Amino acid sequence: MANLKPEQINFSLTMLANVDASYFGQGKTHNDIIDDLTAKATEQVNGVFADQQFKDNCGDWGIAWGPAVYAHGDDDTAANVLYVAYNSDTNQFFIGVAGTNPLNWYGWLNEDFATKAADPWDGKVANGHLTQGTQTGLDHLTSIKGDVNLAGMTIKKACNIQFFMGAALLFKTKATVTVGGHSLGGALAPVLGLYLLENVPTVDNGTWSIRSYAGASPGDSAFATYFNTAMKNAGADFLSQINAYDIVPKAWNNLIGLAAIYSGLPAMCICQKPPHKDGPYAGSGKINGKKDNYLITGFEWWAEKLAEADPTISRLGTDTVFNTEASTAGLPLDDCSKKTWDKTDACYEMNKIVGLLWDSRFDVSPHISTGNYLREIFDYTKKHTGHKSASFDEGILLDFMNFLAEAGEQHVLGYMNEFLGQGSTFNTYLSDAIAVNGRSDNPKKKREAVKHLFHAFVENVHKQLTAKTEVSV
């Protein structure tokens, strides 16, 4: 019998879909890279399922289909990953949908930030619309083919997810089927679940549930109404769980005040002197909010501008919210009184990210440096708020990077700590299992990829924010 409760197991299986995050596929051709990304994901998921610690906590699971991977064009990182696990003891299927790969530009720009309305669901206007990004992700998930594992044999790239689930439920009747996703996966899992409910011929042989963690809103209000009705009619259980300090679920329908969400919270630390300036900024500090930092405000305006592509974007169902008070947050606020960090500290990794972003702020592209884009975003926002006293300096930059780091921490570690317990042995185990492929893979290349992605992100924000007419993502 598993030690963890069912919802903890659902969350653990959900996060396991992210094993290819930050890993660079190897190979001379696109197909070679896909094969390598698939092999790495399969190896890691199989290794976790075979580990006694995972079995003790989550039960006896095995890969039934996948993992299947989508990588765009010449990319060597995965944009989407999907897998199906099966537990024969409990007759349960779990469909895991990966979130945004932090090093994959395609996922950020073409799935996360593509907010215009797609064609209506099932061709009927009354059913509402997904965002173009959600539709793109769903198209990838339903077209990629995964390996099928039967009786100890593996059939390579046998079929897509809907064909497999149709066949699986033909033989495994009265099974429980759960679809789960975090972040981008938190937006894709509900629509994939709905798609399967409407397109798997043997759907009535299973009892279905959908779990969304940290997901942005996938569609407009008409789609939300259609989705909620469809879940009720199918007898499916839908649950969305979000962290009150996570900015992602606020997209794209609750963005007012986004810049001030971390105002007054302790900031991350940079434990070395920042380059180009004597500094230092290490030590205690507070993240400033909307009143002080027009750079952070500029990014809120950018997010609001994306939301204007469809101002009726709505949440699905009813969110279950945790961390509703800062003093009782599942993820404690950071203690930045220390000058150095131990690797066991919760913000160790995020502190390194702040340092990396800091290092990249004056990197020069063929056109303009990241730092200059940031300065222009700051000046644009300050001008349009009517305030003239604030000045752009390294304190403003550091404050902005602290804001991004805190957002990342609350978006990932906040959920890990809420569901698995801060500092628990299994939390540490699962975090390491998810990160091992990316952590061991070409750290120099990863640092450069982060810098280039950060530059592309800032450049995109600058173009969208300052454009007189709407700029397509």
pLDDT, residue 345, reads 46
Query: Distance between CA atoms of 405 and 39, rounded to whole angstroms?
Result: 31
Contact 250, 407 (CB under 8 A): no
CA 84 to each of CA 10, 17, 45, 154, 401: distance values in angstroms, whole numbers, following the listed order: 12, 9, 11, 14, 37
d(CA 153, CA 145): 17
Strand order in the sheet with 206-213: 153-159, 146-150, 62-70, 80-87, 92-97, 175-182, 206-213, 237-243, 319-322
Whether this model's pTM surpasses 0.85? yes
pLDDT tens, residue by residue, 93-148: 999 999 999 889 899 989 999 988 899 999 999 999 999 999 999 999 999 999 99
Q: How far apart are CA 373 and CA 369, in angstroms?
A: 7
- Of the listed ranges 93-102, 178-187, 238-247, 254-263, the one predicted with least confidence: 254-263
Cα 76 from chain centroid?
A: 18
Backbone φ, ψ for residue 133 (5° rounding):
-65, -45
Backbone angles phi, psi at 440, to 5 degrees: -90, 0
For residues 466 and 387, the model is more confident at 466
The alpha carbons of the chain give a radius of gyration, in whole angstroms, of 22
**pLDDT greater than 70 at residue 379:** yes
The answer to whether 371 touches 257, Cβ cutoff 8 Å, is no
Question: pLDDT tens digit string along 57-74?
Answer: 999 999 999 999 999 998
Q: Are 185 and 101 in contact (CB under 8 A)?
A: no
The structural architecture, per CATH, of the domain 6-466 is: 3-Layer(aba) Sandwich (3.40)
Q: Average the pLDDT over 75-84 and give the result.
A: 96
Where in the chain are the domains? 6-466
Share of the chain above pLDDT 90, in %: 48
